[in-house]
Amino acid sequence: MNNESIPLSRPDITDAEIEAVVSVLRTDRLSRGPKLEIFEAAVAERAGRRQGIGVNSGTSGLHLCIKSLGIRDGDEVITTPFSFIATTNAILFDRARPVFVDIDPVSYNMDPSLIEQAITERTKAIMPVEVFGNMAHFHEYEQIARKHNLRFIEDCCEALGGRFGGKPAGKFGDCGVFAFYPNKQITTGEGGVIVTDDDDIARMCRALRNQGREDEDMYKHKYMGYNYRMGEMTAALGAAQMNRLDGILEKRRRVAQTYNEILADVEEIHLPNMAEPEHAGWFVYVIQLADSFTREDRDAVMAHMQKNGIGCNTYFVPIHLQPFIKQMLGTKDGDFPRTERVAARTICLPFFTNLKLEQALEAKKALLKAISRQKTSRS
């Protein structure tokens, strides 16, 4: 390898995607056109759902799911503190209250054995997350929701194309949301798609994304809505990427397997424990330093890697320790110890569809050197 840096992520864009976007510019439909319908249908089909509703982000999609299920001020939604902040923000937008459940430290998803004790008379829904694309426990979450007559929103923003127990990501519960930021399995730059089999949820989400319009009358607004629409160029990019999804997923699984093989002899780390890794929609590749390491050790290891041109990052900062969440909800250090222990030692390594073996080996080399330096500095 030369000294060229290895990025944390990189979108996989080909001439097919470029031509798809340019083709839209040759038309007079830049919004609410046929490309959106094609993209929505492709994502819904992949999730085994009848309906797909394109929106401008995964965050917007989660928000519309909350709205369409009638969750409002004072209602409680059970979710995880180990996720991207959007999961919690979507609940807070309508003044509902997120109720956090600590994680299973193996899968990093919510521990299903802790959910029922978090249910109260104000609980209206559960919203679990397939963290890093891991679909572990989702059958159990669905059973719990059914048992307690709760609505189920699947935050599958990180899991496109994955399967678990024969069931595709996006197929669990009442509705699910995918997201397409540039580090995801496929990208639309920004964007998301809601998937559901419930016609009422789909109808409401379509109206709310389009300023509350339920029909084509441009100035008839049945609901207070939002401008959460997805444009035609965005949808065209997504549709072209969906045509290549199987190939993209296969490459990402090979990259993950490469990391698993070359890092297997590194005693100072824990590898990701993905449910059915051969069927997973790998989003990122996150290792965890061994229990003897501290947050300060992790930060020093990452700083050394970044200084040497290796893209890496933390995934995630616990949501309950975000400053505004602590202020709003009164959460504090120690509330969810498993989440805090895992989050203090995670490192996301460079991971993207076309990552080469030599790049993975260079990342390993930098990781080993950084760990060795940090162990020496502590002794």
What span, in angstroms and rounded, lies between the C-alpha atoms of 80 and 377? 35
Two tokens at 360? 């993975």
- What is the predicted pLDDT for the residue at 4? 59
Low-confidence ranges of the chain (pLDDT < 70): 1-4
- What is the predicted pLDDT for the residue at 218? 78
Domains of the chain: 15-243 (3.40.640.10), 245-378 (3.90.1150.10)
- What is the predicted pLDDT for the residue at 125? 98
Predicted confidence (pLDDT) per residue in 35-50, tens digit: 999 999 999 999 999 9
- What is the predicted pLDDT for the residue at 33? 95
Q: For residue 185, which of 128, 242, 230, 138 has the smallest C-alpha distance?
A: 242
- What is the predicted pLDDT for the residue at 1? 45
Concatenating the DSSP letter of every residue in 258-278 gives: HHHHHHTT-TTEE----SSGG
Burial of 306 (0-12, 13-18, 19+ CB in 10 A): middle
* C-beta of residue 1 within 8 angstroms of C-beta of residue 362: yes
